[in-house]
Amino acid sequence: MILNALSISFFSFIIFLFFHIIIWRILKGYRGIILIIAISIISYSFTHYFLVTQIILTSRPEFWMSAPLFYCLIMLYSHFYVGMLKSVSIRIIEELFESEGFAMDLDEINEIYPAREMILSRLSLLEEKNWISKEGIEYKCLKKATFTVKINLFLHKIYRLNNTG
């Protein structure tokens, strides 16, 4: 019973990866985390309807036991995907990898991936999402950001974290 639930979870995840890759190859425009969640729900439903009820004919409790593992895999994958998509560190390493001799000095890195542009794009996104506002030449935290920062600083104290981000 547990082995079947594990098999269903991993099979659903493989179906999810297949759909994700196909949709990302076809779709233009928005391809973010909300679409990944939608694809995961469709994949799990697809597995349930076609494979479980039509082919394997396994019991419903066994199938629903597979849901927690499947969605844990989706959460891990989402972290991987966002890291791959947004990680500054991975982008810098890619630039080094693609350079001649796998090496660049700071000026060369800054020419390809300017720190100022990186900061400005993040500030623009924060402003667009109403986390900060721009008043003249200064940026100001809004209530939503202040609340998040307080939680983050509290967690820093609990985990004894100094330099993050």
In DSSP notation, 23-90 reads HHHH--S--SHHHHHHHHHHHHHHIIIIIIIIII---HHHHHHHHHHHHHHHHHHHHHHHHHHH-HHH
Same domain, 78 and 95: no
Same domain, 120 and 137: no
User: Which whole-number Å values give the CA distances from 77 to 36, 53, 73, 132, 133, in the listed order?
Assistant: 10, 27, 6, 29, 33
- Assess whether 115 and 142 both reside in one domain: no
Residues 49 and 75 in one domain: yes
Q: What is the pTM of this model?
A: 0.67
Do 23 and 82 lie in a common domain? yes
What are 12's two structure tokens? 């659903």
Residue 164 has pLDDT above 60, yes or no: yes
Quote the CA–CA distance of 87 and 91 in Å, as a whole number: 6
Same domain for 147 and 107, yes or no, is no
- Number of domain units in the chain: 3
- Least confident segment among 21-30, 47-56, 93-102: 47-56
Residue-averaged pLDDT of the chain:
87
CB 139 within 8 A of CB 132: yes
Please report the pLDDT score of residue 33 as a whole number.
83
> What tokens were used for 151?
């939680």
Mean pLDDT of 43-52: 82
User: Does 97 share its domain with 156?
Assistant: no
The verdict on 111 and 135 lying in the same domain is no
6 and 78 share a domain? yes
Residue 131 reports pLDDT greater than 90: yes
Tokens of 13: 């995840």
- Closest by CA position to 1, among listed 54, 52, 66, 49: 66
120: containing domain: 88-127
Of the candidates 98, 79, 99, 96, which has an alpha carbon nearest to the alpha carbon of residue 87?
79
Q: Are residues 7 and 51 in the same domain?
A: yes
At 100 the pLDDT is 92
Domain check: are 116 and 104 in the same one? yes
Residues 140 and 64 in one domain: no
For residue 13, the model assigns a pLDDT of 96
Provide the token pair at 165: 């981000």
